A and B are shown apart, each in its own frame.
Chain A
Amino acid sequence: MLSRGIISNFRTPAIPFPTTCKYSISDKDLESRGFILRRTISDLNLDHLNSVFVAVGFPRRDPEKIKLALEHTQSLLWVEHKRSQKPVAFARATGDGVFNSIIWDVVVDASFQGIGLGKAVMERLIEELLEKGICNIALYSEPRVLGFYRPLGFVSDPDGIRGMVYSRKQKKKK
């Protein structure tokens, strides 16, 4: 069973962002383009968020359950489109707050893809987790977006470690 990043608790993790400009797009740049970065669920319209999820192919989920999930999420980031006041990018991370965290529900509204919003959200989420001292940051990536996560620093199956998901349909061998 994997629980990574143990020894590195004793070392400061190297942050791969250059010190002059921390992110690919600065907060200021985002704002000048009409986007606001948000880090809490206040003012987040869950129905709008759910629509973004559904539009990119997630199953439609009960908004009450989404609320419950967000209330038990350690870090989250979303981008608000100033003009429409709607969420157009989102990502969150769950974990034990010390060793491990997993990033879920990374989405960018289709109309706003390709301009760096996904990257903006991910870079900041990672930094927030690192600042908390969490060195093991994992996620599950669909095959078609592996190329999105790699430049951010993610490696798939490092050392042969495999992500696994429980399937109720799976036949269990005795």
Chain B
Amino acid sequence: MLTRNVAAPPSSLCPILSHDWHFQVSDQLLFPHNLNPNLNRATRKIKGFRLKANFWESIRSGILKNNATQIVEPPSTLEEEEEPVPEEFVLVEKSQPDGEVEQIIFSSGGDVDVYELQALCDKVGWPRRPLSKLAMALQNSYMVAALHSVRKFPGQEGNEEKKLIGMARATSDHAFNATIWDVLVDPNYQGQGLGKAMVEKMIRTLLQRDIGNITLFADSKVVEFYQNLGFEPDPEGIKGMFWYPRY
């Protein structure tokens, strides 16, 4: 519950993430290992999911050095007859030589701690938004996708470290249109294809729910990132417009 000095309407609070959750490991993990790892470490240009032009740049390439990185996500080519996207599954699993295991979990169930989210927004350099409004925005979103890092330590059963490292959300009318907002990935985890995977899973989930028109507004610097995911800018000349935008 929000207990800080924020005037929050009683009914709008987001539930705090429960720490004893357990994740299902989807049988989609049992794919052969010769999947395209897509570990584009050095040359990724598009990193920070920036808010607006007059805010400072937050583009960094996060390079995570790991000895054994195993990409377990399913192939990202769209097939005609698809398995439904599970609400929660492991995207990446990395093992350290000392036995520490880190898993990156994707979830679309909206289990995002609003405090953690605010800290993440701070980390990528977004301006502060009131916590209560953030919570309300999440609650009013049709889908909230999150990336969590879960670290398990050898010999410490049940002792795991979990933190939010990415989020994206979509608003929708539940029938025709969805718009994706606030896509962000912790700078320490950028450059690994996680943002891409997260948005991709979101898209697939939306399509499986029969929401055919998926839209977003992209800063000029990330247009290419979304093009690579299948988004088209100004299709048929249709233009995104904003009412008296503040620069």
Contacts and interface: CB of A to CB of B under 8 A. Distances in A.
A6 B242 contact: no
B232 A98 contact: no
A143 interface: yes
B33 interface: no
A104 B140 contact: no
A126 B36 CA distance: 47
Nearest to B53: A159
Contacts of A156: 239-241
Interface in B104-149: 126-127, 129-130, 133, 136-137, 140-142
B246 interface: yes
B239 A143 contact: yes
Interface string B8-42: 00000000000000000000000000001010000
Contacts of A104: 173, 176-177
Interface stretch (B81-89, B92-100, B156-164, B217-225): B217-225
B237 interface: yes
A108 B76 CA distance: 41
Nearest to B38: A174
B232 to A, nearest CB: 5
Contacts of A9: 129-130, 133
Query: Which range holds the interface residue count of chain B?
Result: 35 or more
A167 to B, nearest CB: 5
A1 B218 contact: yes
Contacts of B130: 9
Contact of B229 (A73, A95, A158, A172): A172
Contacts of A115: none
A95 to B, nearest CB: 5
A128 to B, nearest CB: 13
A7 B230 contact: no
Contact of A160 (B126, B142, B219, B228): B219
Contact of B52 (A4, A61, A94): A4
A153 interface: yes
Given A65-B175, A69-B175, A104-B173, A158 B231 contact: no
A66 B222 CA distance: 33
Contacts of A94: 171-173, 177, 179
A71 B142 CA distance: 13
Nearest to A154: B241
Interface in A139-174: 139-143, 146, 149, 152-168, 170, 172-174
Given A99-B129, A138-B242, A153-B244, 18 more contacts: A1-B51, A1-B183, A2-B52, A2-B219, A4-B242, A69-B177, A98-B137, A100-B181, A104-B176, A137-B242, A143-B239, A146-B241, A155-B241, A163-B234, A163-B238, A164-B232, A166-B230, A167-B235
